[in-house]
Amino acid sequence: MVGPAPADLVARREAASDSVVEVRGLVRDFDVSASWLHRTLSGEPRRVVKAVGGVSFDIRRGETLALVGESGSGKSTIAKMVVGLLPPTAGSIRIDGTDIWDPANAPKLRDLRRRFQMIFQDPFASLNPRWRVRDIIAEPLDVFGITRGRATRDRVGELLTTVKLTPEDGEKYPHQFSGGQRQRICIARALASEPEFLVCDEPTSALDVSVQAQILNLMRDLQDRLGLTYLFISHNLAVVRHMADRIGVLYLGGLAEVAPAKAMFRDPRHPYTRSLIDAIPDIDMTGRERTPITGEIPNPLDPPPGCTFHPRCPFARERCRREVPRAFAEASGALVACHGVEEGWVGQAPAGQKAV
Amino acid sequence: MDVREKLVQRLSRRIYAGWDSDLAHSFRSSPVTIIAALVALTIILAAIFAPWIAPQNPFDPRQLNLMDGFTPPGQENPFTGNTFLLGSDGQGRDVFSAILYGARVSLFVGFFAVLFSLVLGVTLGLIAGYVGGRADAVIMRIADVQLTFPVILVALLIFGVARGFLPPQHREAMAVYVLIVAIGLSDWVQYARTVRGATMVQKSREYVAAARLIGRSPFAIMSRHVLPNVTEPILVIATISLALAIIAEATLSFLGVGVPPTQPSLGTLIRFGQGFLFSGEWWILLFPSLTLLALALSVNLLGDWLREALNPRLR
pLDDT tens digits, A153-182: 999 999 999 999 999 999 999 999 999 999
Using DSSP bridges, classify how beta strands A98-99 and A328-329 pair: parallel, antiparallel or unpaired.
Answer: unpaired
pLDDT of residue B309: 83
- Number of neighbours of residue B237 by Cβ within 10 angstroms: 24
Chain B contact residues (CB < 8 Å to A): 205-207, 209-216, 225, 228-229
| Spatial distance between the Cα atoms of B35 and B41, rounded to a whole number of angstroms | 10
> Any idea how long chain B is?
315
Residue B148: pLDDT over 80? yes
Coil, helix or strand for A269?
A: coil
Q: A118-132, A316-330, B103-117, B254-268: which range is least confident on average?
A: B254-268
**Residues of chain B contacting A144 with CB distance shorter than 8 Å:** 214
The interface pTM score, or ipTM, of the predicted complex is: 0.83
Closest chain A residue to B203 measured between Cα atoms? A125
pLDDT of residue B95: 84
User: Cβ–Cβ of A125/B206 closer than 8 Å?
Assistant: yes
Q: A106-115, B85-94, B197-206: which range is least confident on average?
A: B85-94
Q: Are A112 and A183 in contact (CB under 8 A)?
A: no
Distance from CA of A309 to the nearest CA of B (A): 32
Residue A1: pLDDT over 50? no
Q: What is the mean pLDDT of chain A?
A: 85
**Mean pLDDT along residues B211-237:** 91
Q: Are B238 and B112 in contact (CB under 8 A)?
A: no
Q: A14-28, A238-252, B188-202: which range is least confident on average?
A: A14-28
pLDDT of residue A276: 86
pLDDT band at A343 (very low <50, low <70, confident <90, very high): confident
**Mean pLDDT along residues B174-178:** 84
| Spatial distance between the Cα atoms of A10 and B3, rounded to a whole number of angstroms | 65
pLDDT band at A109 (very low <50, low <70, confident <90, very high): confident
pLDDT tens digits, A81-95: 999 999 999 999 999
pLDDT band at B119 (very low <50, low <70, confident <90, very high): very high
pLDDT of residue A353: 42
Name the residue among A121, A131, A143 with its Cβ closest to that of B216. A143
pLDDT band at B313 (very low <50, low <70, confident <90, very high): low
Residue A58: pLDDT over 80? yes
pLDDT of residue A285: 60
Q: Are B98 and B165 in contact (CB under 8 A)?
A: no
pLDDT of residue B67: 74
Closest chain A residue to B209 measured between Cα atoms? A85
pLDDT of residue A284: 67
Closest chain A residue to B207 measured between Cα atoms? A126
Name the residue among A83, A128, A193 with its Cβ closest to that of B207. A128
Edge-first strand order for the sheet with A335-336 is: A116-119, A197-201, A229-234, A64-68, A246-251, A254-260, A335-336, A328-329
Residue A275: pLDDT over 60? yes
Closest among B248, B313, B210, B298 to B116, alpha carbons compared = B248
pLDDT band at A274 (very low <50, low <70, confident <90, very high): confident
Q: Are B56 and B50 in contact (CB under 8 A)?
A: no
Q: A275-279, B85-89, B249-253: which range is least confident on average?
A: B85-89
Residue A350: pLDDT over 50? no
Q: A216-225, A325-334, B210-219, B288-297: which range is least confident on average?
A: A325-334
**Mean pLDDT along residues B277-301:** 88
pLDDT of residue A267: 86
Contacts of A327 (CB under 8 A, 6+ apart): A255, A258, A335, A336, A337
User: Cβ–Cβ of A128/B214 closer than 8 Å?
Assistant: no
**Residues of chain A contacting B215 with CB distance shorter than 8 Å:** 109-110, 113, 143
- B280 versus A74: the higher-pLDDT residue is A74
Name the residue among A118, A122, A131 with its Cβ closest to that of B213. A118
**Residues of chain A contacting B228 with CB distance shorter than 8 Å:** 128, 130-131
pLDDT tens digits, B67-97: 777 777 877 777 777 777 787 777 778 888 8
Residue A355: pLDDT over 60? no
**Mean pLDDT along residues B143-170:** 84
Chain A contact residues (CB < 8 Å to B): 80, 83-85, 109-110, 113, 117-118, 120-122, 125-131, 139-140, 143-144, 186, 189, 193
- B281 versus A335: the higher-pLDDT residue is A335
Q: A101-115, A221-235, B66-80, B277-291: which range is least confident on average?
A: B66-80
B141 sits in which H/E element: helix B133-147
**Mean pLDDT along residues A257-283:** 85
